[in-house]
Chains A and B, each alone.
Chain A
């Protein structure tokens, strides 16, 4: 199996830019996906295929990739963005072997 590593926490003030990283060897060959989870709620997909944004997700959410690290960027952070964020990728072998989630990053809006 493989692992995805995220920082446990990130803190920013309202209006600033938050960057959450996710690292793992599989990311060199696989896309990354990002989910937002607020307390007591189900996860919500906010970025797919490294940098694509689903309909309904605000433009302040963006994603990027470089080698074995992907980054979720939230520009102009708002209080409502305070949540846990999880990256996800898949087995890089080419056959379905399940998916793996990062440990999650708690975003605190100061």
Chain B
């Protein structure tokens, strides 16, 4: 069964940093683009970032550009999200997701992890 397992969430003070990881299994990780999507408490889904299958291309929502960095290690089947200069409004459940049809211009997320919770508070 295709699986994604996020880790690395926790409580961090405003201005702090955190690195999230997403371990993939049961599919050829290096063939697919990957994405992070977050959901603030009681709110809807917000796309955060995406990375091409090779890692050579990265994309960010305006709300995190310059503060978050997405990366991947295809040899370890793992996706990362480095989050710096964290703000209270970054508090959310962060999901990693496998992206299908990335280069076709019609991307969508067909597999999601269970999420990891990030809380930014003093």
Provide a sorted-by-A list of 22 A–B residue pairs whose CB atoms are within 8 angstroms: A30-B106, A35-B45, A41-B114, A42-B112, A42-B114, A44-B112, A45-B110, A48-B110, A86-B44, A86-B45, A88-B108, A90-B105, A94-B105, A95-B105, A96-B57, A96-B103, A96-B105, A98-B60, A100-B47, A102-B44, A103-B44, A104-B45
User: Do B45 and A98 touch (CB < 8 A)?
Assistant: no
Residues on A with C-beta less than 8 A from B46 are 101
Beyond A30-B106, A42-B95, A88-B108, 13 additional contacts (C-beta under 8 Å) are A31-B106, A37-B45, A42-B112, A42-B114, A44-B112, A48-B108, A49-B106, A90-B107, A96-B102, A96-B105, A99-B50, A99-B108, A104-B45
How many A residues have CB within 8 A of the partner chain? 29
Selected from B106, B108, B113, the residue in CB contact (under 8 A) with A45 is: B108
Interface residues of A (CB under 8 A from B): 1, 30-31, 33, 35, 37, 41-45, 48-49, 54, 84, 86, 88, 90, 94-104
Instruction: List the A side residues contacting B47 at CB < 8 Å.
Output: 98-101
- Distance in angstroms from A9 CB to nearest chain B CB is 13
CB distance from A65 to the nearest CB of B (A): 13
Measured in the bound complex, the distance between the Cα atoms of B108 and A43 in whole Å is 12
**Interface pair B59/A98, CB less than 8 Å apart:** yes
Name the residue on A nearest B45 (C-beta).
A101
Of the four ranges (under 10, 10 to 19, 20 to 34, 35 or more), the interface on chain B belongs to 20 to 34
Would B108 and A97 count as touching, CB distance under 8 A? Answer: no
Establish whether residues B112 and A43, one from each chain, have CB atoms under 8 Å apart when the complex forms.
yes
Interface membership of B109, Cβ < 8 A: yes
Q: Closest CB of chain A to B30's CB: distance in Å?
A: 18
